[in-house]
Amino acid sequence: MALLPGAAAMRAVRSPMAMGSALRGGLATMSTQTAVRAPDASTYDWTHDFDLLTTEHVSERALTASLYRHKSTGAEVLSIDADDENKVFSCNFRTLPKDDTGVPHILEHSVLCGSRKYPLKEPFVELLKGSLKTFLNAMTAPDKTMYPVASMNTQDFRNLVDVYLDACFHPLIRDPVRGPQILKQEGWHYEVTDPQKAQPLSYKGVVFNEMKGVYSSADSRHYRAIQRHLFRGHPIYSIDSGGDPRAIPALTYEAFEAFHKTYYHPANARLFLYGRPDELPISERLFMLQVR
Ligand SMILES: [Zn+2]
């Protein structure tokens, strides 16, 4: 899905999968592990890898919020303690498009099409089918991309976090063979409709088709026109991060891969964890992010 600025206009990607872990020596260097659960998460001394920046009690919501920074990459982690059965994780990046090709939106779909540790065709779909999740999706806004998951089951939650982290930091889109195929599938490709016709080729693709639907909606066109005029000439908010179907076919694999390389880095990430401290102690929360 692609979100519209300010409004609840995000579109969701599809469905997810389940598993669990992520940042050691830098999220960017996570290695392939088998088990989702770290054996020594409960004894993990996070102070070697993270700095605690601040803690605040939010009395009106009965929450305690703590902000951590990963020492070697600068990734920021907001951890919330709450008396809630739900456990929530979200991996978020600042993503700033330069044109209407929809590269943030296409990337949002594409990173969920298999990763180094989970080289399935569509891990997201497998998660949707098999996870006990209470939420699983991804959203593209004009200036950021978010990958949130939630579950009331602790092991399921670990799995979801593991799949999502691997998807964000080690997606198969960076593979020189699979990457261009995923772009064609999720972004755009040519399709022969009728060889006898004067124009036998048409454009197809998951996001291309999705955005054709969006651009066929009067409400959506109205919203986009307002946005474009309110932010005329603005380098970010005058752009459609979801993708204009007229511009999507201009997206190359090189630009697609470069966008991931530029923005999907721990230093550009803001991570969010939420749950009960007895079910999900801070040592385990930070361990999940650390192990890769
Ligand atoms: Zn979408």
Break the chain into its structural domains and give their ranges: 27-290
Q: Give residue 84 CA to ligand 1 midpoint distance, Å.
A: 30
CB 283 within 8 A of CB 43: yes
Residues of the chain with pLDDT under 50: 4-35, 38
pLDDT value of position 186: 97
Q: Give residue 209 CA to ligand 1 midpoint distance, Å.
A: 9
Among the listed residues 186, 210, 257, 284, the single catalytic one is: 186
Over residues 186-225, the pLDDT tens digits come to 999 999 888 888 888 999 999 999 999 999 999 999 999 9
pLDDT value of position 291: 55
Q: Give residue 18 CA to ligand 1 midpoint distance, Å.
A: 20
Architecture of domain 27-290 in this structure = 2-Layer Sandwich (3.30)
- CA 232/CA 67 separation, integer angstroms: 36
Q: Which residue matches tokens 């054996």? A: 39
CB 113 within 8 A of CB 259: no
Among the listed residues 56, 76, 85, 108, the single catalytic one is: 108
Q: Give residue 146 CA to ligand 1 midpoint distance, Å.
A: 12
pLDDT value of position 199: 83
pLDDT value of position 170: 96
- CA 292/CA 242 separation, integer angstroms: 31
pLDDT value of position 1: 59
Tokens of 61: 């919501």
Which residues are near ligand 1, the ion (C-beta closer than 5 Å)? 1, 11, 210
